Amino acid sequence: MFFLRGQASVFLRLAPLAIALGLVCRMSSAEAFDDSARDFESPGFVANQYLVKVKSRRSLESLESEFALAVSRTPIMTTAEGEWYKLTDVDSLTSFGEIMAFVYSNHLLNDEVLHIEKNLIWHSLTVAVDPSPKSAPSLPKRARKDPLLGRSWGIGKVHAPEAWLKTQGSEQVVVADIDTGFDYNHEDLINNIWRNTKEIPGDGIDNDGNGFVDDVVGWDFVNKDSLPWDDNGHGTHTSGSIGATGGNGVGTSGVAPHVRLMGLKFLSGDGSGSTEDAVRAINYAVQNGASILSNSWGGDEYSKALEDAISAAAAKNIVFVAAAGNDGTNNDTLPMYPAAYNLPNVIAVAASDSDDHLVDYSNYGANSVHIVAPGDRVFSTVPGNKYEVNSGTSMACPHVAGAAALLRSFKPTLSAVEIKRILMASVDKDPEYADKIASGGRLNVERALSLAAGDQK
């Protein structure tokens, strides 16, 4: 079980950079981010809210006049086919079935209304865990500058230190961690935090005209402000696995120790968030320079709006890494989204333990789950300059996101499809994965970079 200890005593040390940026933080609610007992069916969606895709804003007029529906003033997302809007039932009297019946009876479907769906709720993907960390394989001397790196067994298992001889990442490569937010003042994250240099901190003005005021390190889509503070712990943990600073003599290191981390909070303190906010977060990442998206969350219902957002990211050559899920089931037959979307930029990640066994809770899929990565008892950063252990495909996903970031740092011309292909072609094969994982193996970052360099065929 993972807790932020002492909700009243979690004080963040504001480093000089944080002070310079004018950043403040919300205090932790000390919530556990164990989601092993979650029930996706309850509540499952935001009450009285619907997402609708129409050819134009005018297509909503008949729905507005028939029902007491409030429509978002601006689109949630615009695609080549149409625009997505949020509908809110003002009087809470209209059922989803009534809206659909009206659309069908008035022949609106396809002519004006392209799609309607509930505003689904998604959840972070972690499980209850023995809090003691696994011991790590022996690390090269050059990788021992971080005093706690020896607890991060996954770093050695995927051969990240050997990969660092080729690249440790680039300031030009931004990884958006779409999660519960992060501790942007953490001693082992602060030097790798993405900064929106077009924005003047704290002046209350949208200086870069991107629609977000003072978005210096990212955005909080839950509280609708510029402070993506992690009041859960999950997002700080995943961010650390992606890109905790390496070689700084503090803490541990992420797979990509010198990339930039963009914090996008769409999951609240209880680890849940809506499709609307997930879509907005993905759109923000696409529009503000992220090239890798890490997504340690999921749900068992399909969303067309979410698929459209990820497809738009694919069109911009952005890699979308997603946790496969923690139900121990086959995603080929019982899909867990967004990992199960059949899109060219999606990389679905299962979880392994330190002995290279697929953990019993990890979802799998010979067609829909692409790669395995360390996910059991993973040691990483948590709010308040602390470090703890957690488990789940949530923890496996950022290992692959970090690897994708190293590939893009090493060879910026690689497309999202090429990065996916290289990661899958360079795995350490294991017979246990042969009929469960599309690549048949576990992440090997060193081999991936060698393949990208042309050292291996």
Q: Which of 177, 179, 214, 215 is catalytic?
A: 179
Nearest Cα neighbor of 303 from 110, 49, 93 is: 49
Question: Burial of 75 by CB count in 10 Å (0-12 exposed, 13-18 middle, 19+ buried)?
Answer: middle
Strands 77-78 and 83-89: antiparallel
Q: Which of 123, 186, 234, 399 is catalytic?
A: 234
Nearest Cα neighbor of 254 from 148, 359, 351 is: 148
Q: Which of 352, 380, 394, 450 is catalytic?
A: 394
| DSSP assigned state of 55 | S
Q: Is 234 a catalytic residue?
A: yes
Consecutive H or E run containing 263 = strand 260-265
What are 446's two structure tokens? Answer: 């060193």
Angle between helices 393-410 and 445-453 (to 10 degrees): 30
Measured at the alpha carbon of residue 183, what is the angle toward residues 249 and 27, in degrees to the nearest 5?
130
Other beta carbons less than 10 A from residue 188's beta carbon: 28
> Do 23 and 229 contact (CB within 8 A), yes or no?
no
Can you give the three-state secondary structure of 197-232, one letter per residue? Answer: CCCCCCCCCCCCCCCCCCCCCEEECCCCECCCCCCC
| Separation between Cα atoms, residue 24 and residue 184, nearest integer Å | 9
Q: Is 215 a catalytic residue?
A: no
Give how far the C-alpha of residue 280 lies from the chain's centroid of Cα atoms, to the nearest Å. Answer: 13
Strands 174-179 and 260-265: parallel
Q: For residues 290-300, b (16+ Cβ closer than 10 Å) or e, as one string?
A: bbbbbbbbbbb
Q: Is 362 a catalytic residue?
A: no
Instruction: Give catalytic residues, as residue numbers.
Output: 179, 234, 394
